[in-house]
Chains A and B, each alone.
Chain A
Amino acid sequence: MGMIQTGKNRKNLVFSKRVADLKKFGAAELVLILSIIVLVVVVAIPILLIFWNAFTTADGKFNIKDVIWILSKPETYQALLNSVTIALGVTMLSTILGVFFAWLVTRTDLPFKGAMKLLFIVPFMLPSFIGAMAWKILLSPRGGYINVFFKNLLGIDKPLFNIYGMAGIIIVETMYLFPFVFLQVSGALERMDPTLEESAQISGIDLFTITRKITFPLITPSIIAGALLVALYSLSHFGVPAILGTEVGIYNIPTLIYQKIYASAGSFEAIRTGTVLASILVISAAIIMYLQNLVLKKGRYQIIAGKSMRPMLLKLRGFKIPLLIFSILYIAVTVLLPTVTVFLVGALKTYGLPLKLKHMTLENFKYILFSWKMTKDAIKNSVVLSLGAAFVTMLVGTMISYVIVKMKVKGKFILEFLGMLPFSVPGTVIALGVILTWSGRFGVNLYNTAGIIFVAYIARYMAFALKSTSAALEQVHDSLEEASRSCGATHWQALKHIVLPLIKPGMVAAFFLIFLPALRELTTSVLLYGPTTRTIGVAIYALNEDGETVYAMALASIALVIIVLGEILIRKITSTKEGNG
């Protein structure tokens, strides 16, 4: 019994008072402090160390001279320029494609709209660096299958298209990033209140003017939000420029950081250059995130969220079939062609042979899966690391989200701020920060072990866990937990019986949202892997670099199969969740 007799038993009262104080500290404050520690160690310290390293000399004095010197070197300057050019190009192309296709599948009478909508999101699932390799195989100037085909067909001397270079990088990145715009805009178009357009129509305004004057201004915030996301990813993208740029001497910021660290085996000079470039990435990413928040906040009032409504559909008439063929062709060329290429080349007996059935074999897949230690280890490493990171990040993310969403404790704002950080930190930066933090500086040296990749994954994917679990927690009204408390349950019992079962779907979603991208991760692990800690992404990348194209593609095929199966699984899980709700 916790009740206290008043005025009778002072001793009892004093004791109970202490118990109450202890309890007060025991639950809320402990969890808060634990959450802050995790975020500080995993996210804040690595990022701070990057800035510290960039802006101080070896003996700890503030130093801006070196920063300017590094930035004015032609190679860094050029890399910056390339990153910005690529980001601008990709953002513009993605916005045009994304808005056009979104409008096509939501506001016209295009046939098979439902299926088309799903197909346009497929590029999201595919790792872009594998796509880039496929395009290299198809369109490299000398041996690319398409270039060779047209050379023979037309009897021309020059390749049809050289995939190496800025144009190739921009086009291939766009294929994989345009779904960001597509999703944002098609979502906005679906949720838009049709009466806004109908009232204009009743006033006798034609559909073209309505689209221009009413629909378009209403979805502008969504377009901008999607475009900024594309810019954020493109600016710090590693895979595609690494495969299509490095060969011809084109570097962007992440590939230059990789090249510096890789070439110099982690010299002070290389780390310095890396941290300066990484600081620029962090700052520009933060600016982009800030702009996006601004735009989304402004756009919120205009579009009525919630249930889908039936909008006016534009009759395409004579354009219906041509536009359908165009859309199908787009998907066939950007999704089907590279994927088929990966599987076919992965099955070739020797690279360079024509893609005919008599040259195909299943031996490559067998060798990679069962005989070759390097690839077997890579698969095992990736699976174990992704499972572990997904599990730990999900649990820690749930705890942090709980503090942010549910608890009333002082000092919560620190957590809210720290929790925002991982949303905007690119993979390259995480890798660099993790190297600085976990290479013995604080007495723990994880360099060249799987542990360093593990902590990097946690930092990199914390944002996903926070997003998914906090969304789930916001759905659980406070009174559900309080009702449990008033029924006699302690705080922990209330969590166990009420809160956790209710947010389980959100936690499972978080798990897969981390597990799947971690499985195919390249950007971070490529800077962190050691002799025995290759991941699938690193193994594919290294095989490709070594000219083992066939084995690279065979391993890529296996990765694609795992990824697609995983995506199907997560879709099943999230859709049954909605079914129950």
Chain B
Amino acid sequence: MAEVKLENISKHYGEHRVIENLNITVKEGECFTFLGPSGCGKTVILRLIAGFERPTNGEIFIGSSLVSSAEQKIHLPPEERKIGVVFQDYAVWPHKTVYENVIYPLKIQRIDKNEAKQRTMQAITQVGLKGLEKRLPYQLSGGQQQRVALARALVSKPEIMLLDEPLNNLDAKLREEMRFEIKELQREIGVTILYVTHDQEVALAISDRIAIFDHTGHVRQIGAPREIYEKPADKYVFNFMGVSNFIPLEIKNGATIIEDSNIPVALQPPTGKKEALRMLAACRPFDIELTRENTGMKGEVKRVTFLGATMDYRINLGEKELRIQQDTQEALQNNLLFKEGEDCFLKFYNVAWFESQSVEMGVS
């Protein structure tokens, strides 16, 4: 276990500034996720920590040791950083069997033969590959190869594990299973995990803390999953964490209306923000209730899609479109299933308020 600290880290490729002045401290034993769209530089951060790339500026500490420093021209090669890496494309060596793949780090470290053997079998068992140790990678499924990579990273008991989108190429069911296993492993061994993904569901499920990046490589928010989900720092974070409805509003003569229209809205901006004339209300599809009782906000059902446990609606509010979901069972019981073309009334919960920028309202 060790802490990882990035101080003023920048990485430029020629003119292209991938990362600029990044400061992050990952605590000991924490599962920390770098979440962002593809191309935001999150993989580069992992490669900097692993030592495959050198920072243009700044310093990286692992534990109390300085491992990279652009200013002092220090660069500890990857093999001396005591980290386990699981690559996006598994990087399981095709000419080695499962057993040979997993035992490799111990052979390099010249661990005693018996101990190495025992630890290898333990790691293989841990990821559920017992009985397959003599197979070559091409005889394994994608998920099994992924587990080999995981076992290989675990076997040398690293202080830090770096995982780069390790669940990307798995099917939905296996992905869920593996993310549970990773979390279990982390609890069991207490290793510090740095996890890179663009999938907010995975991030919410396994992280102690998440750092959200935008496409320019800047951090928008760092926090625990619930904190980020419930108190998003800005519109970008809100949008990134799930399907979002944004409604641009303006306050005219004390009444809240949809921007550039005369449609009144039964929404009260939070106190302290009343001064702002233009605001942005944001909410999730499940935070709007469809009712038949007049709440003052009338919409028209444009399209209904049955998704099994949930119903998915596209609702026209004035000229804008909102996306709303409801629990199918509940709607059935309360006679709240709407047909296309029908009128309906909207009730808002858990509305988040942001400074209004020139945004198109609607679903994104």
B76-A3 in contact (CB<8A): yes
Question: Please, which residues of chain A bring their CB within 8 A of the CB of B87?
Answer: 479, 482-483
The answer to the question of A17 belonging to the interface, with a C-beta cut-off of 8 Å to chain B, is yes
CB-CB under 8 A from A6, the residues of chain B are: 61, 64-66
Q: How far is the CB of A31 from the nearest CB of chain B, in Å?
A: 16
Question: Most chain-B CB neighbours within 10 Å: which of A13, A477, A479, A491?
Answer: A479
CB-nearest residue of chain B relative to A18?
Answer: B73
Q: How near does chain A come to B83, taking the closest CB pair, in angstroms? A: 6
Compute the total of residue contacts between A and B using a CB distance below 8 Å: 98
Considering only CB atoms, which chain B residue lies closest to A14 in the complex? B72
Cβ contact within 8 Å between A20 and B85 = no
What residues of B have a CB within 8 angstroms of the CB of A490 in the complex?
77, 79
**Interface positions of A from 236 to 293, Cβ below 8 Å from B:** none
* Residues of A contacting B79 in the complex (Cβ-Cβ under 8 angstroms): 485-490, 493
**Inter-chain contact A486/B77, CB cutoff 8 Å:** no
- Which residues 48-65 in B have Cβ within 8 Å of A in the complex? 50-52, 61-65
Contact of A486 among B50, B67, B72, B74 (CB under 8 A): B50
Residue of B with least CB distance to A20: B75
Cβ distance B137 to chain A, nearest Cβ, rounded Å:
11
Chain A residues contacting B61 (CB-CB under 8 Å) are 6
Given A20-B73, A20-B76, A24-B75, A3-B91 contact (CB < 8 Å): no
Q: Given A479-B89, A482-B91, A483-B152, decide whether A488 and B109 contact each other with a Cβ distance below 8 A.
A: yes
Q: Which residues of A contact B80 (CB under 8 A)?
A: 1-3, 488
Q: Chain B contacts of A13 at CB under 8 A? A: 66, 72, 74
Q: Is the CB of B65 within 8 A of A5?
A: yes
Q: Does A4 contact B95, Cβ atoms closer than 8 Å?
A: no
| Chain A CB within 8 A of B341 CB | no
User: Contacts A483-B91, A485-B52, A486-B79; is A3 near B74 (CB within 8 Å)?
Assistant: no
* Complexed CA–CA distance, A491 and B88 (Å): 21
**CB of B104 within 8 Å of the partner chain:** yes
Q: Are B85 and A486 in contact (CB under 8 A)?
A: yes
Residues of B contacting A485 in the complex (Cβ-Cβ under 8 angstroms): 51-52, 77-79
In the complex, the answer to whether A482 meets B52 with C-beta atoms within 8 Å is: yes
Contact A2 B91 (CB under 8 A): no
Q: In whole angstroms, what is the CA distance A125 to B105 when docked?
A: 46
Contact A23 B77 (CB under 8 A): yes
Q: Do residues B50 and A5 form an inter-chain contact, with CB atoms below 8 A?
A: no
CA distance in complex: A3, B64 (Å): 9
B64-123 with Cβ < 8 A to chain A: 64-67, 72-85, 87-89, 91, 93-95, 104-105, 108-109
A486 and B65 form a contact (CB under 8 A): no
A421 within 8 A of B: no
* Residue from A17, A477, A487, A498 within 8 A of B74 (CB atoms): A17
A4 touches B65 (CB 8 A): yes
Report how far A13 CA is from B72 CA in the complex, Å. Answer: 9
A24 to B81, CA, bound (A): 16
In the complex with contacts A20-B75, A482-B52, A488-B156, A4-B66 CB distance below 8 A: yes
Q: B95 to chain A: closest CB distance in Å?
A: 5
User: Nearest chain-B residue to A483 (Cβ)?
Assistant: B91
Measured in the bound complex, the distance between the Cα atoms of B94 and A483 in whole Å is 12
In the bound assembly, the distance between CA atoms of A13 and B69 in angstroms comes to 11
Assembled-state Cα–Cα distance A3/B105 (Å): 19
Q: Are A489 and B108 in contact (CB under 8 A)?
A: yes
1/0 per residue, CB under 8 A from B, across A474-505: the answer is 00010110111111111101000110011000
Q: Range of interface residues on chain A?
A: 20 to 34
Give the residue among A4, A21, A24, A477 with the most B Cβ atoms within 10 A: A4
Contact at A484–B94, with CB atoms within 8 Å? no
A361 CB-CB contact with B under 8 Å: no
CA distance A345 to B53 in the complex (A): 66
Residues 452-486 of chain A: 1 if any B CB is under 8 Å from the residue's CB, otherwise 0?
00000000000000000000000001011011111
Cβ-defined contact, A479 with B91, below 8 A: yes
Q: A487–B74 Cα gap in the complex (Å)?
A: 21
Query: Nearest CB to that of A491 among chain B residues?
Result: B77
Interface string of A22-37 (1 = CB under 8 A from B): 0110000000000000
Give chain A residues whose Cβ lies under 8 Å from the Cβ of B109. 488
Tell whether A16 is near chain B: CB-to-CB under 8 Å. yes
Distance from A227 Cβ to chain B, minimum over Cβ atoms (Å):
38
Within 8 A of A (CB), among B138-182: 149, 152-153, 156, 162
A359→B294 CA distance, assembly (Å): 116
Chain B residues with CB under 8 Å of A4's CB are 65-67, 74, 76
Bound-state Cα–Cα, A486 to B86, Å: 9
Cross-chain contact A16 with B74 (CB below 8 angstroms): yes
Closest to B72 in A: A17
Q: A3-B65, A6-B64, A477-B89 are in contact. Are A484 and B74 (CB under 8 A)?
A: no
Taking a contact as CB atoms under 8 Å apart, the answer to whether A480 and B65 are in contact is no
Neighbouring B residues of A484 by C-beta, 8 Å: 93, 104
Residues on the A chain within 8 Å of B156, using CB = 487-488
A502 vs chain B, min Cβ distance (A)? 6
- Pairwise interchain contact B93-A498, C-beta atoms closer than 8 A: yes
User: In the complex, which residue of chain A has the Cβ closest to the Cβ of B158?
Assistant: A486
Name A16's closest neighbour in chain B (CB-CB). Answer: B74
Question: Most A CB atoms within 10 A — which of B52, B84, B88, B109?
Answer: B52
Closest to B75 in A: A20
A268–B131 CA distance with the chains assembled, in angstroms: 75
- Looking at the assembled complex, report how far the CB atom of A569 sits from the nearest CB atom of chain B, in whole angstroms: 22
**If A23-B77, A488-B109 touch, does A502 touch B95 (CB 8 Å cutoff)?**
yes
CB distance from B119 to the nearest CB of A (A): 13
Residue in chain A with minimal CB distance to B153: A486
Partner of B78, one of A20, A21, A480, A486: A486
Inter-chain pairs besides A4-B65, A17-B73, 8 sampled, C-beta below 8 Å? A3-B62, A477-B91, A479-B91, A482-B91, A483-B91, A485-B78, A485-B79, A489-B79
Residues of A near any B CB (own CB < 8 A):
1-6, 13, 16-17, 20-21, 23-24, 477, 479-480, 482-491, 493, 497-498, 501-502
25 contacts between A and B (CB under 8 A): A2-B76, A3-B80, A4-B76, A6-B65, A6-B66, A23-B77, A24-B75, A479-B91, A480-B91, A482-B91, A483-B87, A483-B152, A484-B93, A485-B51, A485-B77, A486-B84, A486-B85, A487-B105, A487-B108, A488-B109, A488-B156, A490-B77, A491-B77, A502-B93, A502-B95
> Which 6 residue pairs of A and B lie closest in terms of their CB atoms, listed nearest first?
A487-B105, A3-B65, A2-B80, A479-B91, A483-B91, A486-B85
> Could you list which residues of chain B lie within 8 angstroms of chain A, going by C-beta atoms?
50-52, 61-67, 72-85, 87-89, 91, 93-95, 104-105, 108-109, 149, 152-153, 156, 162
